[in-house]
Homo-oligomer: A and B are copies of this chain.
């Protein structure tokens, strides 16, 4: 089975079809799309927590814990294949990433580690009570914003 595998086997899942388009069609656009999808999932899970923190949604320890668990899982995702050189703002439609990011990988790694820490703190607090959830929200927002402010072109 060292020859290219039968495409039929790959086409069972619609996701696979899309994935092959991403991988083989335009890798740079695919990488930017993956970044946006990843950010959307951060946003969705943060939204669950933010809605509770603001009092717009009733506190629910189980839902809050699930959202916090998911943030930790998302923050642990290996993003090497997302941040391809040549995908900065202006080079790929929809990208808002400053080109400076690619010469600041050590700083990016440190900020990513800070996000993991903030998500872990939320994971510890989210299921405890609303006050603990609220206390973890600010540092989590700051950890998100630290990368955005440094490496994202303002709207």
CB-defined interface of A31-64 with B at 8 Å, one 1/0 digit per residue? 1011011111111111110110111110000010
Q: Is the CB of B131 within 8 A of A2?
A: yes
Interface of chain A: mostly helix, strand, loop or mixed? helix
Find A40's partner among B5, B23, B33, B53 (CB 8 Å cutoff): B33
A44 closest partner in B (C-beta): B34
Q: Are B148 and A14 closer than 8 Å at their CB atoms?
A: yes
Proximity bits, A68-103, B CB within 8 Å = 1, else 0: 011001101110111000000000000000000000
**CA of A155 to CA of B14, assembled, Å:** 10
Chain B residues whose C-beta falls within 8 Å of the C-beta of A46 in the assembled complex:
13, 15-16, 19
Range of interface residues on A (Cβ < 8 Å): 35 or more
A39 to B37, CA, bound (A): 9
A20 at interface by CB-CB < 8 Å: yes
Which residue numbers of A lie inside 8 Å of B, CB to CB? 1-5, 7, 9-16, 18-24, 30-31, 33-34, 36-48, 50-51, 53-57, 63, 66-67, 69-70, 73-74, 76-78, 80-82, 130-131, 134-135, 137-138, 141-145, 148, 152, 155
